[in-house]
């Protein structure tokens, strides 16, 4: 297989092109409709927060309470 290149991975994360995981987005919307507060957890680094938030909003993850990186 191909070796992971952190520089390229972070460049991709900053690009805002990460597609939503459809089952996860479906669950997210179900929880949101139930009126529960949503806390998102990501393994991304803090310096990627703005790009991560932009990408989440772009693909349909809106209305969450907090994003924990």
Q: How confident is the model at residue 2 (pLDDT cuts 50, 70, 90)?
A: confident
The whole-number pLDDT of residue 1 equals 65
Q: Using CA atoms, how far apart are residues 67 and 3, in angstroms rounded to an integer?
A: 29
* Interval 3-22: pLDDT, tens: 888 899 999 999 999 999 99
Contact at 8 Å (CB) between 27 and 68? no
**Does residue 1 lie in a domain region?**
no
Task: Give residue 3's pLDDT.
Answer: 80
User: Domain limits at 36?
Assistant: 6-68
Domain count, the chain: 1
pTM here is 0.87
Q: Does 39 reside within a domain? A: yes
For 8, other C-beta atoms within 10 Å of its C-beta total: 9
């Amino acid at each position: 297989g191909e070796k992971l290149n952190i520089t390229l991975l972070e460049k991709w994360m900053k690009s805002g092109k990460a597609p939503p995981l459809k089952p996860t987005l479906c669950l997210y919307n179900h929880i949101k409709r139930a009126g529960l507060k949503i806390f998102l957890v990501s393994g991304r680094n803090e310096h990627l927060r703005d790009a991560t938030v932009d990408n989440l909003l772009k693909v349909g993850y809106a209305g969450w309470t907090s994003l924990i990186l």
